[in-house]
Amino acid sequence: MSFDPPSCPWSSVLVTGGAGFLGSHLCERLLDQGASVDCADNFLTGSHANLAHLAGRPGFRVLECDLARPGADAELPGPYDLVLHFACPASPADYLAHPLETLDVGSLGTRNALRVAERDGARFVLASTSEVYGDPQEHPQTEGYWGNVNPVGPRSVYDEAKRFGEALTTAHARARGTDTGIVRLFNSYGPRMRARDGRVVPTFVCQALAGEPLTVSGDGSQTRSLCYVDDTVDGVLTVAASRAVRPVNIGGTEEVTVLDLARRIIELTGSPSTVEFTERPEDDPGRRLPDITTARELLGWQPHVPWSEGIKRTIEHFAAKPPATA
Ligand code: UDP
């Protein structure tokens, strides 16, 4: 399902974290559909480069804003009819480097974003994550699974911030009548990820293009299910346009081991790179695959871009950039 410009149901949208990977793609899609877009970002992990191609587009504004600060909601002028709350470091390397900021934006930042939605009577969508399932003991993961998260492990700053964000969002819907939705996103990838942000796809692609060894953690038997960014954007906007209150899994249905991913990226780039096995991060989830029955059957969304095609587009993106900026 893709949203055509004439069918865009929103006139004014706030995208928090709009300078990030997913946020910038959302801003672009919404502008293409004719909505006005305010992109709010503190530029901790987001970048102006992600927005350069949107500069000067009618209806587009960039608001430098620390969403977790008290009163930040008042800095976001509105009125909006949709608030997409995507502000948060998303790469494990980033949230481990910024643990307190991650907890703050997931809690105080989410509260402020919800205040904006309540103030304006806007639909609100929280970007949640497959990480709420932790290292899952149920496979594939349905939205009804409560998860297996270590509350004091290194990843907890992200997992628990997102779990708290879900609780806060749901409480707002119940206690204040705010129109809320929650998307649980599974390993999105594509152009505009930071080259060496630590996540597996940009890391492997850049290593392969540079002829460096691909750093596979553990024995590489852990799995992920990749979802190309265009499909993720469609999924987010599908949930935004629906009345779904409960969380909805949005993710790819092709489960791949990390070692296989490394081998296939080497193959697709034609790189002379080898594989180097490195230490497995603490609490690294062993398997991850979304059950997307809710999205597919209730909302009519499913991913369309096969991972081999999405990876090719991602390789082209990084290959077109000079190594220093890639
Ligand atoms: N990974 C890897 N080498 C890297 C980066 C990541 O083997 O250079 C592994 C990581 O240990 C995990 C998987 O790839 O098992 C996905 O990691 P990523 O950081 O992309 O996201 P996660 O799904 O863990 O949030």
pLDDT digits (tens, 9 = 90+) for 27-55: 999 999 999 999 999 999 999 999 999 99
20 is a domain residue: yes
- For the segment 145-162, the average pLDDT, to the nearest whole number, is 97
Residue 3 — very low, low, confident or very high, per pLDDT cuts 50/70/90?
low
Residue 236 lies in a domain: yes
CA angle 109, 32, 74 (to 5 degrees): 25
Q: List all residues whose CB is within 6 A of at least one atom of ligand 1.
A: 92, 187, 198-200, 203, 215-217, 222, 224, 258, 281, 284
Residue with the nearest Cα to atom 6 of ligand 1?
Answer: 200
Tell me how many domains the chain contains.
1
Please, which residues bridge with residue 222 across strands?
Answer: none
Structure-token pair, residue 126: 């929280």
Tokens 């910038």 sit on residue: 24
- CA-nearest residue for atom 23, ligand 1, is 187
Q: Residue 265 falls within a domain, yes or no?
A: no
Q: What are phi and psi of 314, to 5 degrees?
A: -70, -40
**In this predicted model, what pLDDT tens digit does every residue of 274-317 receive, in sequence order?**
999 999 999 999 999 999 999 999 999 999 999 889 999 999 99
Name which of 50, 84, 85, 51 is nearest 68 in CA terms.
85
| Cis? peptide before 79, omega within 30° of 0 | yes
Give the total residue count for the chain: 326
In a domain, 168, yes or no: yes
In a domain, 268, yes or no: no
Q: Which of 80, 95, 133, 158 is catalytic?
A: 158
Residue 221: pLDDT over 60? yes
Contact 147, 134 (CB under 8 A): yes
Contact present, 169 and 182 (Cβ < 8 Å): yes
The answer to whether 189 is a known catalytic residue is no
Residue to probe by mutation, ligand 1, list 159, 186, 199, 205, most atoms within 8 Å of CB: 199
Detail the DSSP E strand segments found in 258-320. 275-278
Instruction: Judge contact between 290 and 186, C-beta under 8 A.
Output: yes
Is 269 within a domain?
A: no
Ligand 1 centroid–CA 175 distance in Å is: 38
Q: What is the pLDDT of residue 196?
A: 81
Domain of 178, in residue numbers: 12-188+228-253+289-304
Q: Is the pTM of this model over 0.90?
A: yes
Whichever domain contains 48, its CATH number is 3.40.50.720
What are 75-114's pLDDT values in tens digits?
A: 999 999 999 999 999 999 999 999 999 999 999 999 999 9
What is the 74 CA–ligand 1 centroid distance (Å)? 37
Cα–Cα distance between 313 and 195 in angstroms, integer?
Answer: 14
Instruction: Give the ipTM of the model, two decimals please.
Output: 0.99
- Answer yes or no: is 96 within a domain: yes
The Cα 50–Cα 169 span in angstroms is 28
311: in domain: no
Rounded mean pLDDT of the chain? 95
Q: What DSSP string describes 82-124? A: EEEE--S--SHHHHHHSHHHHHHIIIIIHHHHHHHHHHHT-EE
